[in-house]
Structure 1
Amino acid sequence: MLRNKVTVSVLLCSFIESYDFIVYAQLSLILGQVFFNVHSSYVNLLMGLGTFAIPFIVRPFGAMLFGYIGDRKGRKSSLVLSMILFLLSIFCMAFLPTPESIGIISPIILVIIRMIQGLAMSGEIGGLVLIIENVKYDKVAIASAMHGIAIVCGGILAYVVISLCKNFLTEYEMLSYGWRIPFFIAFLMSLLLPYLRKSMEESHQYSEHIKVNQPSSFFSLLEAFIKYRKDCLLVYSITSLTSAMFYLVFVYIDIPQHVNIMNYIILMTIFIASYYCFAYFIGVKDSKISQLLAILVVIIFAYPTFYLMSYKFFFACIMSMILNAILFGIVFPIVVSIFPVAVRHTCFLVIYNIAHISGGIAPVVCLWMSNIVKLQAVPALYIIFWAIMAFICLLLYKGRNYMELRHLNG
């Protein structure tokens, strides 16, 4: 029962985190108008996406803190602290005064809120470590798939809520108070988290490890980045690719804005089904060849997919879901289980969050570059670059597969 609470707590927070971020992405233009009020839709969007990217920039600093706590004091302690910051940021976002009330202080507070949210997010991804360390080694891929599906479901709810707000409220009402409604819903959902976090157990693997070993010191955690530098490079490249693909499809291309709600649900169903299939395949047969082939598929189909999406072809949207599912299917089992228990929380959180900068800034970088070079292929080229990096790193990687590592660490 307590392990179920661990899973529910982590998945709920991932669900809310995804919901909150997709909401912010969907409202980027509106929030740019509310808090920056520049008489240019391009600049407003750029400012909105800029504040969207802020959490990704501060996440590595939070990862160092929460990673250290997770390996020294336990995974649960890290997640409780990140939950407090997460609740604080959501509450402040829902009730943030506008510049009309407090002037220039308002956008400054917005930036601070986004920074706090970034710190919280950097710790919350550690919940995936807790889930995976509580399952058998042959269930790692399926357990990580549950986490990914929670993220997708959060995005679906965000789209539904934003659509309802825009359908029932005028543009003036959205600028006045409507933008707060989705954030207030996120705050209400997050009120369940304290109960779930309070009653959850520590990671099984970490508990067993700490019985016979001293917690890792600060310096041994730093040394781990040197000792496992090849593992870190692999995690960095694959995570950069996966996050860039996700945010370019859902934020830059902004699929939810170009399809009706029925087609959006169809796309998400395709993504979830594809994701589960790829995760199951990896769980049954983990092989470097299958992972390399998966990345090669992304390299081949990235350009035609993004090119056709720019012309709003629905088939291209389906392809983007499958490409995302392929990457999600291979990324989490590798990036979490590749590190030993003693330093897993720190190494995973720090490298994963540093890599997510590549995804978080992808929309604003591609918007800026596209405006300069007047080329629609910029997002595809961005993806292809990271896919080639990930392919090379995985090809040259001589470590064991994640199942072997899981068995040794568990």
Structure 2
Amino acid sequence: MTLQKMRHCTNIPEEQYRLAFAISLGGMLELYDFMVYAMMASYIAECFFPSSDSMTSLLGTFATFAVGYLSRPLGGIFFGHLGDRYGRKNTFTLTIFIMALTTALIGCIPAYNSIGMLAPVLLVLLRLFQGFSLGGELPGAMTYMSETTPGRSGLVIGILFMSLMLGLSLAAFVHGLLTLFLPLDVMTQWGWRVPFWIGGLLGGLSFYIRRRFHESGLFMALNLVRQRQATPLLDLVRHHRRGFVCGFCIIAMFGSATAVLSIYMPGYLVTLHGFASDQVAWQASLAYIMSAPICLLMGLANDRYSHKLLLLLCAVLIVGISLPLYHYISSDGAELSKIMMVAAVLTAFITGLLPPMLVRLFPTEVRYTGVAITYNLGITLFGGLAPVSSTLLIKWFGITTGPAMYLIVISIFSLLIVFVAWPDYSMATDNGNRLRQ
């Protein structure tokens, strides 16, 4: 990419950059919450799922982690309908409020030894509500940002997903800071709750900021050129099935990779390979913050290059790197810094490239619904079940490379859409309904 082309790609008004970074605060909270839960998995397991077998206890914790994903498609349908019928701004302002509240409340649940079975039940319920709100949060932010900056959707969504990587780094940093100053017994008693309270405060701040936004211009234009869809989901099923299939396969690769390489990785390294949890936290924080700008560069690539080519590149990288990475983790003398840096760079590469592809698969009248359903179904089926599936592969077959095999299979599955034509709705005019070969 020449310097002139690069300047053209990044040439958007300063207020659009400010808007993108303000919205991205909520995006940061999404992966922060999920990363915090994964990093606190050992404490949560002891607090809510006490068992003599540490692996069984950990499975209970990650099963509850998966529950948070299972409610996301319902949230995607609900908030997608609200967003396409009544507006993007109010809808994804509501989602951040629910997400902030549930995150803070998770940190307030009494332990199993205080209220018995009610403790894990409350945890599961809050995870369900948290996942429900997340079903509309990031799709709403992607839809709103792409529609307020037509022609630069890759760039602004790249900013959004760069904030997600920073959310991973913040979660790891908070965990490292707590383990540095608090002894193990204090972490088990109440220290693990602090990151959830911090997440609630971040969500509250994002809610306050979003209330001041204006509605998306493309959405407002629907009243001038055509009626909003009464039931966006039905219109999506009837007229946009090709976009749905393409989006689902794209997010299958994205969801499995981010879940395995970032969210599941800390617990995997600590529980199965004996790395110190504080060292994992510090190395993860450093790796994610250093690799975050890659998301922005990959977002720029989305505005310039073929999406099919970029999808193929992601698959090649996952297949080529994941198995050697997990073999290296199991080897003698494996260095934690190298492990986390490779995982973080690959995560940032995939995170910056794949999600921005969704917004051009659907027209304005069903964009929120289309993005929300494809994103959440892919994340739920291939991301939410990744930690449980990886743990079961390791437990049943005794192979520490189980997560790598999971990633390779999902990536090959996602490549099937390379052989079909993709819908392409121009963000500038929104009437460019053509098929990309």
Question: Residues 110, 263 of structure 1: CA spacing in aligned structure 2 closer, same or farther, 3 A cutoff?
Answer: closer
1:407 Cα offset (Å): 3.6
Q: Equivalent of 2:207, from 176, 180, 194? A: 194
Which of 143, 150, 167 is the aligned partner of 1:129?
143
Q: Which residue of structure 1 lines up, in the alignment, with residue 413 of structure 2?
A: 389
Counting only pairs closer than 5 Å after superposition, residues 236-315 of structure 1 correspond to structure 2 as 236-254=248-266, 258=275, 259=279, 263-311=283-331, 312-313=334-335, 314-315=337-338
Q: What aligned pairs does 1:43-192 form with structure 2 within 5 A after superposition?
A: 43-125=56-138, 126-137=140-151, 139-192=152-205
Match of 1:364 in 2: 388
Q: Shift of the alpha carbon at 1:107?
A: 1.3
Per-residue CA shift, 1:167-219, capped at 9, x if unaligned? 2212211111111111111222222133212211111211122332211111x
In structure 2, the gaps of 5 or more residues are 1-13, 432-437
Change (3 A) 1:161 1:283: same
Counterpart residue type for residue 406 of structure 1: M
**CA–CA distance in structure 1, aligned partners of residues 247 and 189 of structure 2:** 43
C-alpha distance after superposition, 1:360-405 (max 9, x if no partner): 1101111012110111222111111111122121x1221255xx63
Which secondary structure does the structure 2 equivalent of 1:386 belong to?
A: helix
Q: Confirm whether residue 380 of structure 1 aligns to residue 400 of structure 2.
A: no
Larger deviation, residues 276-285 vs 46-55: 276-285
Contact 1:295 1:327 in 2 (8 A): no
Segment drifting more, 157-166 vs 321-330? 321-330
Offset of residue 2 of structure 1: 7.8
User: Which one-letter code corresponds to 2:136 in the other structure?
Assistant: G
Shift of 1:263: 4.2
Question: Measured at CA, do residues 315 and 59 of structure 1 come closer, stay the same or move farther in structure 2, by a change above 3 Å?
Answer: same
Residues 195 and 274 of structure 1, relative CA distance in 2, 3 Å threshold: closer
**2:247 aligned to which of 224, 231, 235:** 235
Task: Judge conservation of contact 2:20–2:159 (CA < 8 Å) in 1.
Answer: no
For 1:69, the aligned partner's letter is L
- 8 Å contact kept, 1:10–1:128: no
TM-score (norm 1): 0.92
The structural deviation recorded for 1:67 is: 0.5
Aligned 8 A contact 2:175 2:281 in 1 = no
Alignment partners' CA distance in 2, 1:99 and 1:263? 32
Question: Which residue pairs with 1:320 in the alignment?
Answer: 343
Q: Give 1:234's aligned amino acid.
A: C
- Cα distance, 1:50 vs structure 2: 1.1
Unaligned 5+ residue runs, structure 1? none
Query: How many angstroms does 1:4 deviate by?
Result: 6.3
For 1:94 and 1:260, the matched residues in 2 are separated by 22
Find the residue that maps to 2:23 and give its secondary structure.
helix
Q: Deviations over 1:4-60 (max 9, x none)?
A: 675344211111222121111101111011012112211111111111111110110
Aligned residues: 405
Aligned mates of 1:194, 1:213 — CA distance in 2: 31
Q: Percent identity?
A: 24
Please tell me the root mean square deviation across aligned C-alpha atoms, in Å. 2.3
**Is the contact made by 1:144 and 1:333 (CA closer than 8 Å) also made in structure 2?**
yes
Q: 2:315 touches 2:415 (CA, 8 Å); kept in 1? A: yes
Name the stretch that deviates more: 356-365 or 247-256: 247-256
CA drift at 1:252: 2.6
State the alpha-carbon separation in 1 of the partners of residues 117 and 130 from structure 2: 21
